[in-house]
Amino acid sequence: MKSVVILISGRGSNMAALIDAAADGALPVRVAGVLSNRPGAPGLEIAARRGIPARAVDHARHPRREAFDAALAEAIDAWAPDIVALAGFMRILGDDFVARYAGRLINIHPSLLPAFPGLHTHQRALDAGVRVHGCTVHFVTPALDHGPIIAQAAVPVLDGDDADSLAARVLAQEHRLYPQAIRWFAEDRLRLIGARVALDAAQEGGASLVSPRVSARG
């Protein structure tokens, strides 16, 4: 069984979805630990209540990004994870850090990438007048929110939506999509082919789930 370390900055709702899916047996991974760059992040307490080791690596104590990245990597490596999952982790990671975990560093982003990378995605989607919005799970690369896409889930943008109502609908899909994508990784069903991701065996999920193209091995 593969192990995962989850990085958070705040409440950790996607973290909780991963922990609960692992506890229920729906996600065949062991959550080795949770790390936050904020000592007061509510998600640390949530993880601890679920019996998951949780600690902070305070970015404020490391003024230089390289020093913070090194301290964070040391904490991650103490658990020797197969997967490092960013779940609302709000720090930009340096190129050396990303290279260290290349191919096993995964993020979930609240938009249908490549649309709306960065922050305030829901309001930007509304301002742009899009009719479909959603979330993306992708491998992390040095380019912000532009790594190879593993899976996406879409929701309609409804008349009368504001950023909060749209965010809530997207978040419900995030909680479904992230465990599914991590499960594909844990089952060795994902393959990177250049900048694209292929999924071995039958595609799963409902109509709102847009997965990688399915391919046969060999």
What order of strands is seen across the sheet that includes strand 196-200?
Answer: 190-193, 196-200, 213-215
Confidence label for 202 from pLDDT (cuts 50, 70 and 90): low
Q: Which domains does the chain have, with CATH numbers?
A: 1-101 (3.40.50.170), 108-218 (3.40.50.170)
Mean pLDDT of the chain: 93
* 109-119 tens-digit pLDDT: 999 999 999 99
Among candidate residues 109, 122, 138, 175, the one labeled active-site is 109
pTM strictly above 0.85? yes
Residue 36: the pLDDT is 98
Q: Is the pLDDT of residue 205 over 60?
A: no
CA dihedral for 173, 175, 178, 182, sign (positive or negative): negative
Residue 214: the pLDDT is 39
Mean pLDDT along residues 169-190: 97
Based on the residue annotation, tell me whether 175 is a catalytic residue of this protein.
no
Q: Is the pLDDT of residue 203 over 80?
A: no
Residue 194: the pLDDT is 84
Strands annotated E in the chain: 2-8, 29-36, 54-56, 83-86, 105-109, 132-139, 149-156, 190-193, 196-200, 209-210, 213-215
* 1-55 tens-digit pLDDT: 999 999 999 999 999 999 999 999 999 999 999 999 999 999 999 999 999 999 9
Mean pLDDT along residues 130-145: 97
Confidence label for 207 from pLDDT (cuts 50, 70 and 90): very low
